[in-house]
Amino acid sequence: MNEPNKKTDDHASSTNESVSASADSNPQAPIVSTEDIGVGTVIHRSDQPAGQHASSSQTPNPGSSIETVSVVEFDGVTKTYNAGQPNAFTAIKDVSFVVKDVPDAGEFIGILGPSGCGKSTILKLIAGLKPQHPPTEGSVKVLGRDVTGPGADRGMVFQDYTSFDHRTVLDNITFGLECHGVRRKVREELGRHWIEQVGLNVTEDQHKYPHELSGGMRQRVAIARSLILRPRVILMDEPFGALDPQTRLSMQDLLVGLWRKVQATVFFVTHSIEEAVYLGDRVYVLSSSPGTVAREVEVEPPNRPAAEMQREQKFQDTVYYLRDLIAAEEALKQAGM
């Protein structure tokens, strides 16, 4: 991600090659067609039984002897809450996808869908958080290993402000390092570095308490607290949902810059279609509950400010396409289908 403009050029020239590679390396869910819409490329895959991979991100070239590591893999995952009881509810069903490691870059995955379709369930299954974890059926793997619970290789940022009220900004950001036994001098030096990285002022802000911060500043602290641990996977559940529109755009730009520095794989749940299209390399659209992967869209990377890119007609064309798709899913839900 250190060369965003190069990635933009490569995206247009390599789409057909990557599509061909995906089809060859994933015969159980072949790509039957693609469709360019605005800044996105819609991937149409054939129907397949549960448990077969519905989509494969960044698959290796055919014939390559080097197997690309899967960062996150869902294989036929179903989650039913209160299974076997009268109030059982299935949030997601037969969800399968593979997100490969992108060396020296990482990939940004946006997750969209109607309300209640299981977006947060997917995130928390990756995180290994109960009661979402474990899945009722299927398997969830991170870095090739079954998820057995939370781990330091995964960091999570929620919509709700999750700072500790009795700790300063610096102490909040360094909390994870403290739990890992890192010496105070080392962790505070790293903490001040990350205060700067998220756009806060070390001198003015490091000794403030959460009640002295705006909503945007609190989320900056939450992001810094996650990134200071250098997780391989960053899970973000509507982190900007409570922010005003202008602050939200600023936070989107900040996140893009941070992501390029840490080179992690990011899963980002949002109700904002514009946000998903701007931030994502790839967007998964879930069906109405029980959620399945209804559509996969590869998207051009964000190589200019959010306020600028989101005004462009090509960008809006992709947004309108996804909005109509989600509206159709909502209509099916209302009709009881």
Across the beta sheet with 293-299, the strand order is 31-37, 40-45, 293-299, 282-286, 108-112, 265-269, 233-237, 154-158
In a domain, 38, yes or no: yes
pTM of the model: 0.83
H or E element: which one contains 45? strand 40-45
In a domain, 222, yes or no: no
Q: Could you identify the residue written with the tokens 């979402």?
A: 132
Q: Mean pLDDT, consecutive 10-residue segments, the chain of 337 residues?
A: 44 40 43 87 67 45 55 95 92 94 88 93 96 95 94 87 87 94 95 95 95 92 94 94 91 94 94 96 94 94 93 96 92 74
Q: How many whole angstroms separate alpha carbon 188 and alpha carbon 8?
A: 37
In a domain, 203, yes or no: no
Q: How many whole angstroms separate alpha carbon 186 and alpha carbon 83?
A: 47
Residue 226's pLDDT is 93
Q: What is the 3-state secondary structure (H, E, C) of 141-177?
A: EECCEECCCCCCCEEEEECCCCCCCCCCHHHHHCHHH
| DSSP one-letter string for 15-26 | HHHHHHHHHHH-
In the chain, the amino acid numbered 149 is G
In a domain, 212, yes or no: no
Upstream peptide bond of 134 is cis (omega within 30 degrees of 0): yes
The rounded radius of gyration (Å) of the Cα atoms in the chain is 20
In 3-state terms, the chain is what percent helix, strand and coil (to 5)? 35, 25, 40
In the chain, the amino acid numbered 285 is V
In a domain, 309, yes or no: yes
In a domain, 22, yes or no: yes
Q: For 69, how many CA atoms within 13 A lie in the half-sphere containing its CB?
A: 11
In a domain, 315, yes or no: yes
Phi, psi (rounded to 5 degrees) for 314? -60, -40
Across the beta sheet with 70-81, the strand order is 56-57, 89-100, 70-81, 137-142, 145-146
Q: What is the pLDDT of residues 24-75, one digit of tens each?
A: 334 236 777 889 999 999 988 775 433 344 455 544 444 444 456 789 999 9
Residue 209's pLDDT is 95
In a domain, 241, yes or no: yes
H or E element: which one contains 285? strand 282-286
Residue 335's pLDDT is 75
**Widest pairwise Cα distance in the chain:** 60
What SS3 state is found at 295?
strand
Q: Note down the domain range covering 243.
A: 4-159+233-334
> Domain count of the chain?
1
In the chain, the amino acid numbered 225 is R
Q: How many whole angstroms separate alpha carbon 280 and alpha carbon 299?
A: 6
Tell whether the torsion through CA atoms of 267, 55, 68 and 40 is positive or negative. Answer: negative
> What is the token pair recorded at 97?
């996808």
Q: How many whole angstroms separate alpha carbon 82 and alpha carbon 136?
A: 10
Residue 188's pLDDT is 96
CATH number of residue 150's parent domain: 3.40.50.300
Q: How many whole angstroms separate alpha carbon 249 and alpha carbon 272?
A: 12
> What is the token pair recorded at 90?
């299935």
Q: How many whole angstroms separate alpha carbon 267 and alpha carbon 119?
A: 10
